[in-house]
Structure 1
Amino acid sequence: MAEVQPTRMELIKLRRRIKMATRGHALLKMKRDGLIMEFRQILEEAKQVIGGMIEKYQKAQEKMTLAKAVDGTLAVRAVSIACTAEPQFTIKKKNIMGVTVPVIKRKPVRRKIVDREYGVTSTTARIDEAVAAYEELVDAILEVAEIETTVKRLVEEIDKTRRRVNALEFRVIPSMEETARFITFKLEELDRETIISLKKLKAKMAAREEAEAAA
């Protein structure tokens, strides 16, 4: 700590910094705890959404397998080539405790049979059901994409906030407090030396006065 100036002004400045760091530490802990609560809630929602997507995927696979087995791979492939529509969506943003996360605004991918690109009379109910199942799957995938991104960004922010909390708690604040103790010790040492010097000076002056009085 040779670079530290052990002065009262430096001690006052340091104590102010400690106070600000302590307040910042408390606020960051509150933010971290709040983010963790939000994360746990969204994680439960994510589990349900992902579970729903898996179910829709399994259903779509079953419908597709049945359609291929009964109506033939060529018939299914012809319909898949005809279905050229892409999901229509826009990505907005929302704020969760300072964390920007995406919100996907979308039109349902699932459509009525008459709104699809292939002719209704040229397919079977099995193919229609397979198409519908995959449309529902795409809707579910978009929902999962939104919530997975939210979870990822919350995890990143929690980790970043936790590192800042730990840095303040275990390095920054203890280091400043140690420096404050060092300055306090040096000032007290200086005060003691000053008092001793004053006592010696007073004793010398008293001795001189006595000598002058005796002369």
Structure 2
Amino acid sequence: MPSISDIRPTRLEYIRTKKRILIARKGLKLLKLKRQALILEFFNTSKTAAALRENLQTELIKGYESIRMAEILAGSMRLENESMKLPMMGKLNVKSKSIMGVHIPKLEGGQNKVYEEYLLELPASINEAISSFNRIHKIVLDVAEKETALRKLLHEIERTKRKSNAIENVFIPRLVDAVRFITFRLEEIERDTFIMLKTVKRKMGEREMQELREVEPELNV
């Protein structure tokens, strides 16, 4: 935005600056609404993430307990052999969803596909261990998704706050100062023009009176 000294004090510039103030105030209102929505989404996601972390802690305890029981019931050698036969984790697909313009990753897949026929051949204790760690893997992905969303939302909240502060505390005050300057200069120009017109009118009146004085002797003759 140009400095005050570079602003042209015209009616057109006055109208244009007033419109910019209206647009800036509307934009500021939208930014504040966006920030409020982002903060609400941040707290909701934070609650979900906290619940997931708590659930993860519980499932980890169950998972390690299932491994211990499998070692006791099926033997550590059998458990190790069966773990080597498990297929690799499936491909993890990273998609994206938008929350108030913030792109949040959506994690899908990543589970190992264990065939039911194979599971039927395994002891129940090993089956339980596999199921338990599949649940843990899913929760870990969910936690990673929510933690990433929290970081992105927090970054966008801070960015929106900086933009709204700049508009509210810098941009709009400068525009308001520009309107005051233009108004002052227009009033000053109007006063100068009024004085000039009065001076011209007075001089014209004096000239007419002088011409009348010069013409009167001739008329009397």
1:89 and 1:107 in contact (8 A); partners too: yes
The number of aligned residues is 211
1:102 aligns to 2:105 (yes or no):
yes
The one of 34, 38, 56 equivalent to 1:35 is: 38
SS in 2 for 1:5: coil
The one of 50, 56, 60 equivalent to 1:57 is: 60
Q: State the identity %.
A: 33
Q: How far apart are residue 172 of structure 1 and its match?
A: 0.9
Runs (5+) with no aligned partner, structure 1: none
Normalised by the size of structure 1, how large is the TM-score?
A: 0.82
2:34 and 2:100 in contact (8 A); partners too: yes
Task: Tell me the residue number matched to 2:212.
Answer: 213
Task: Tell me the residue number matched to 2:217.
Answer: none
1:91 and 1:104 in contact (8 A); partners too: yes
Q: Distance in 2 between matches of 1:209 and 1:130?
A: 115
Q: Distance in 2 between matches of 1:103 and 1:194?
A: 68
* One-letter code aligned to 1:102: P
* One-letter code aligned to 1:36: I
1:56 and 1:133 in contact (8 A); partners too: yes
1:94 and 1:100 in contact (8 A); partners too: yes
Q: Deviations over 1:12-40 (max 9, x none)?
A: 11112112111111122222222222222
* One-letter code aligned to 2:107: I
Task: Tell me the residue number matched to 1:81.
Answer: 84
2:63 and 2:133 in contact (8 A); partners too: yes
RMSD of Structure 2 on Structure 1 (CA): 2.8
* Farther off after superposition, 55-64 or 43-52: 55-64
1:89 and 1:104 in contact (8 A); partners too: yes
2:89 and 2:110 in contact (8 A); partners too: no
The one of 21, 26, 37 equivalent to 1:23 is: 26
* One-letter code aligned to 2:33: M
Task: Tell me the residue number matched to 1:193.
Answer: 192
Q: How far apart are residue 176 of structure 1 and its match?
A: 1.0
Q: How far apart are residue 181 of structure 1 and its match?
A: 0.9
1:134 aligns to 2:137 (yes or no):
no
1:8 aligns to 2:7 (yes or no):
no
1:92 and 1:102 in contact (8 A); partners too: yes
Normalised by the size of structure 2, how large is the TM-score?
A: 0.80
Q: How far apart are residue 59 of structure 1 and its match?
A: 2.5
